[in-house]
Chain A
Amino acid sequence: MTDGWNIVVCVKQVPDADDVSIDPETGRLNRSDAEAVMNAPDYNAVEAALELRDEVGGTVTALSMGPPNADAVLRVAVGMGADDGVLLSDPAFGGSDTWPTSLALARAAEELDADVVFGGEETTDSSTGQVPPGIAAHNGWAQLTYVEELESRPEEDKLVAKRDVEGGYERVAAELPVVVAMGFGENDPRPAGLHRKIYAETDFEPETWTAEDLGIEDEVGLAVSPTQVGGMDTADPVPREQEVVDETDELAEQIAEVL
């Protein structure tokens, strides 16, 4: 491929976790005071997408699903260096769980003729980590999750990932198209350049696509979402015993005893 890869990076607007509190009586999250920001792990996804574009050429398109004001996260991505942005926004998407959400993103990635789709490890407001694998499943594409490092092989149309697995890592090569979920904190997201940031927040206008544009108006929304929230419980903190020991040997003995 001479003109590089079509890289898509999925980003999500979430309430700033620092401002979210738990109502001690109802156990529900109180998000009303929280500022809407880009999901923190998505910064690593955008950075990985931009690094890949630096290596193989092509374009990076930021993709998000959300209400019209979610365009703010596309502007963050474009500020960092994404070429363009597409917002999937339609009242029909309302109440979608991870199944229809990943379907919508998968269809949009197809529409964008994606070679690689990036996502963050998980979102800070729902923490399922299901959406990147869901995109891969809906499209029948390869998936690389919990990725620490990437190595591109454009001549073979392959992407090789170093993946975090229990007890160590593994290296996996996937054929394009592939969905990559970057591990949180695995790279150093770049700051937006000043002029790029001004452009992203003023003159840049993302495209907006509806469910109908993607031909999935009957396959999204609350009604077709298979998961339901049954209830909420708050777990009480467990009191922990504390003890100060004077000698390291004594500490070692106690640890050995517990083990």
Chain B
Amino acid sequence: MSETPNYDSEYDAIVVGAGLAGSTAALTMARDGLDVIMIERGPSPGTKNVFGGVLYTPRIRELTDFDDAPKERYVAKKTYSMLSEEGDETSMSIAPSSWREEPHNNSWMVLRADFDEWFAEQAVEAGAMLVTETTVTDLIKENGEVVGVETDRPDGELRAPMVVLAEGANSLVSEAAGLKDRDDRDNVAVSVKEVRKYDREKLEDRFHIDGDAGLAAHYFGDGACGDAVGGGFLYTNKRTVSIGVVYSIEDAAHDKKTPDEVLEEFKQHPAVAPLVRGGRMVEYSAHAIPEGGPDSMPELVHDGAVIVGDAAGLVLNSGVHLEGTNMAVESGYHAGRAVADALAQGRTDEAALASYETNLRDSYVVENLEHYGWFMDTAAEEKEFLFDDLPRALGRAGDAYFKMDNTPKDEHVSEAKSHILDATGGWLGAAKKAWKFRKMLS
């Protein structure tokens, strides 16, 4: 065979995974003049990635010509609905007129197989190399320092001064190399999602949307995902609808229902069924989501390596805010800059890379995680109230409040009140609960 060059030390940095965090890090480093190689296990970037559907884009807009990116619809309207098991729905919708104006609150529905491929291309155009269909299986360490990666290919070791670990939620490499503890089961959520295809006109009529406008719908309560801490979601794309459930793996492990059965029940809820009727399923996927909050973040910086994105546990679920992609991008950006700065000084040690962690802590990413870190714990503590009693009480209260019969409205109001107060445990209980959840909207 003609001679094969050896590429050890030919690259300044190896990026493990070409998802949002990995490609942002690669793009940032390549723009800084570094030689970067991204190693992606899928046949193309995005094929292995799963998320609900909304990409938050402020940093991506700064880094790329976002107008050219493959997008589906911007979020023109958000709805939050409480669903009870019995079929009640109580909902609220928000559609500020400003969301219809550029830049559409930087919230776009995208399909990852399209978007991530395009985004990785931006890194390649900036000079990064992308190798696909190659799985990193372990890190090479010497004297405690990460000096390269092992892959599943023959002749599969590659050495470089820096490794950026952007391997996603199921971070087997970081764990195997001892850079991160395995996530506790109660810090991980499972998501099952299907994408259904419709005629575009039919889809726009069904959801009352037009042009590039779209709907992001969130559902809570045990009508959404059974007897578990979690919820359901529905996002409209151009010609498809993404519908899924996300709930704690701890609950999934104890539940008699499998995640696909939970999704099926959600789809059959009377509030949801008409929205997803017909069409054709074109994609079905499941994934893990790290929802441990700030306490379960691993050490982000190591000698010769940094951890970014989902692998670093950077996902926010406050009940109202469901974010991850923006934090993945932000972490990739700060990591890329820190690596470039350290290498400019000829260093790869933890201390030289510390600015990554500092900048991330100073950014909204860690601040938001800390601010909302209480939510998942409180939701778990108050599971029965939040997911079972409250949705039912709201349904009954609504029923009572608007009841048409031959009694005066006064009686309707007091019946409605009593449904709510039963669920909260009286006025005192209601006050306690309100206090407990006050931070949800602050």
Interface residues of B in 114-158 (CB under 8 A from A): 129, 131, 134, 151, 153-158
Contact of B153 among A60, A191, A202 (CB under 8 A): A191
Contact of A195 among B2, B5, B44, B129 (CB under 8 A): B5
Using A83-B1, A83-B2, A203-B5 as known contacts, say yes or no to A194 and B155 having CB atoms under 8 A apart.
Answer: yes
- In the bound assembly, the distance between CA atoms of A83 and B3 in angstroms comes to 8
Contact A199 B154 (CB under 8 A): no
Contact A194 B151 (CB under 8 A): yes
- In the bound assembly, the distance between CA atoms of A191 and B37 in angstroms comes to 19
Contact A193 B129 (CB under 8 A): no
- In the bound assembly, the distance between CA atoms of A220 and B84 in angstroms comes to 70
Chain A residue contacts of B37, Cβ below 8 A: 198
Contact A193 B155 (CB under 8 A): yes
Nearest B residue to A192, CB-CB = B153
Using A81-B1, A199-B5 as known contacts, say yes or no to A194 and B44 having CB atoms under 8 A apart.
Answer: no
Contact of B4 among A35, A84, A193, A201 (CB under 8 A): A193
Interface SS of chain B: loop
Is A196 interfacial (CB 8 A cutoff)? yes
Chain A residue contacts of B44, Cβ below 8 A: 35
Is B407 interfacial (CB 8 A cutoff)? no
Contact A201 B131 (CB under 8 A): yes
Interface residues on B, range: 10 to 19
Chain B residue contacts of A35, Cβ below 8 A: 43-44
Contact B4 A195 (CB under 8 A): yes
Nearest CB of A to B134, in Å = 7
Is B435 interfacial (CB 8 A cutoff)? no
Chain B residue contacts of A83, Cβ below 8 A: 1-2
Chain A residue contacts of B131, Cβ below 8 A: 194, 197-198, 201
Chain A residue contacts of B1, Cβ below 8 A: 53, 60, 81-83
Nearest B residue to A50, CB-CB = B1
Contact of B158 among A53, A192, A195 (CB under 8 A): A195
Nearest A residue to B39, CB-CB = A194
Contact A199 B153 (CB under 8 A): no
A interface residues, how many (CB within 8 angstroms): 21
- In the bound assembly, the distance between CA atoms of A42 and B314 in angstroms comes to 43
Is B98 interfacial (CB 8 A cutoff)? no
Chain B residue contacts of A194, Cβ below 8 A: 131, 134, 151, 153-158
Nearest CB of A to B84, in Å = 41
Contact B156 A198 (CB under 8 A): no
Nearest CB of B to A194, in Å = 4
Interface residues of A in 185-217 (CB under 8 A from B): 190-199, 201-203
Most central of A59, A196, A197 by chain B CB within 10 Å:
A197
Chain B residue contacts of A202, Cβ below 8 A: 129
Chain A residue contacts of B155, Cβ below 8 A: 193-196
Over the window 65-92 of chain A, the binary record of Cβ atoms lying under 8 Å from chain B Cβ atoms (1 yes, 0 no) is: 0000000000000000111100000000
- In the bound assembly, the distance between CA atoms of A53 and B4 in angstroms comes to 17
Contact A198 B129 (CB under 8 A): yes
Chain B residue contacts of A82, Cβ below 8 A: 1
Over the window 1-29 of chain B, the binary record of Cβ atoms lying under 8 Å from chain A Cβ atoms (1 yes, 0 no) is: 11011110000000000000000000000
Contact B134 A195 (CB under 8 A): no
Using A35-B44, A202-B129 as known contacts, say yes or no to A197 and B153 having CB atoms under 8 A apart.
Answer: yes
Given contacts A201-B131, A202-B129, 16 further A-B contacts (CB under 8 A): A60-B1, A84-B2, A190-B154, A192-B154, A193-B153, A193-B155, A193-B156, A194-B156, A194-B158, A195-B5, A196-B155, A198-B158, A199-B4, A199-B5, A199-B7, A201-B129
Q: List 21 A-B contacts (CB under 8 A).
A: A59-B2, A81-B1, A82-B1, A83-B2, A191-B154, A193-B155, A193-B156, A194-B131, A195-B7, A195-B155, A195-B158, A196-B4, A197-B131, A197-B153, A198-B7, A198-B129, A198-B131, A199-B4, A201-B129, A201-B131, A202-B129
6 A-B pairs with the lowest CB-CB distances in the bound complex, closest first: A193-B155, A83-B2, A194-B153, A193-B154, A194-B156, A196-B4
